[in-house]
Structure 1
């Protein structure tokens, strides 16, 4: 009885969380709780203090980042860069295995100091030590398997440098949320990049991001309908057959 009550309580608690969203659009996650705002609000300390004179301020050829020909690539904590995700992967694998084995064994004692003849008199009719043991075995196995995948994804998202490692590598994190009616599309990108891999357009492709974690999905009414019911998920996890 206690177990039944406990299971029903868990189901009701899970259902209450979804019932509260009925008739409401899914809420955006707060951008003020992520690492991006913290990195932009608390940038790292500058290593070089740039001194400008009146002549430098009037010149069009200043070397700063805000000048006409300055380098605007992300290089320190709090800077923003664009991550270009263009995935067009295709994989096709096919395996085939076959195995066959056969064996036969026989053991007999036609004569051994006359012992088999004496024993044969006491054995049931038709039994004889001349053919004491005879075995044979045959086994055959075959297996076929194939995998075929095709993935294509083209996205662009702005990411923020949230940390600068001692070796100069930049840790980036980017998130994007778009709400259409009652569905939110989410895009999350994290990883580590080298400053020299960032292009002059302040962009970097996903294949140059180490330990890349790219998540593209959504939440809302459509996503809830696509998921199996909680009872079905529990049954799939518990039932052995």
Structure 2
């Protein structure tokens, strides 16, 4: 009976050792990702992150100029005497005046929403951003390109920033298509504008 117990103990020990050696080691893992804590804000902060920009740009420029000039010249010569008796009475007047005025008013308004990407994190922590959005409807293509530098503290909790808070902001808005082509001056008009 003793040998039977010893044999059972040896077999159990061999099975246990082989089980440990054959199976892969198991590691405990969490159900939650370490990358994003539930308490962390989902704000852009690294190169490659995306950020939503609300574009609300409005500009108005007015210029006025007025010019008034006046000039008057006069010359009078009386009748000559003695040897100069043949000179008749000469009188001459000249007046010149000029007046000019002009004014220019230009205004623009652009409203849009687009998503841009963080290109680079600057040494001071600011983010360099750039993005392009192209929309084509009925063969009319509109393209918005935006770039600039933003401060991380200006980005909202929803990962949104207003375009007025972009430093060195550059916004290009272009349209191509039938309507855009009609807005372009004709060849003769462009030639005359180039000459004059």
TM-score exceeds 0.5: yes
**Please, what TM-score do these two structures have when normalized by structure 1?**
0.55
Does residue 177 of the first structure (1) align with residue 147 of the second (2)? no
Map of 1:1-241 to 2, 5 A cutoff?
66-102=36-72, 121=83, 125-126=86-87, 138-228=95-185, 231-232=187-188, 235-236=191-192, 240=195
Kept after mapping to 2: 8 A contact 1:79/1:161: yes
On the 8 A contact 1:65/1:71 being kept in 2, the answer is no
Give, in angstroms, the shift of residue 158 of structure 1.
Answer: 0.4
RMSD of the TM alignment (CA)? 3.7
Q: Deviations over 1:193-213 (max 9, x none)?
A: 222222222122122212221
Cα 1:193–1:139, aligned 2, differ >3 Å: closer, same or farther? farther
Q: Structure 2: give runs of 5+ residues left out of the alignment.
A: 1-27
Deviations 1:157-186 (A, max 9, x none): 101111223333321111111121212221
Count, aligned residues: 168
In 1, the alpha carbon distance for the partners of 2:100 and 2:190 equals: 32
The structure whose Rg is larger is: 2
Residues 57 and 164, structure 2, Cα contact 8 Å, conserved in 1: no
Q: Distance in 2 between matches of 1:233 and 1:145?
A: 22
**Residues of 1 paired with 2:150 and 2:77: CA distance?**
72
Write the distance in 2 (CA, Å) between the matches of 1:225 and 1:234: 14
Query: Structure 1, residues 49-102: CA drift from partner, whole Å, max 9, x if none?
Result: xxxxx89x578xx9x772222122212211111111112334444443433344
Residue 46 of structure 2 aligns to a residue whose secondary structure is: coil
Select the structure that is richer in strand: 2
- For structure 1, the 5+ residue unaligned runs are 1-53, 109-115
Call closer, same or farther: CA 1:99–1:77 in 2, change over 3 Å.
same
Distance change (3 Å), C-alpha of 1:72 and 1:105: farther
**What is the deviation of 1:105?**
7.1
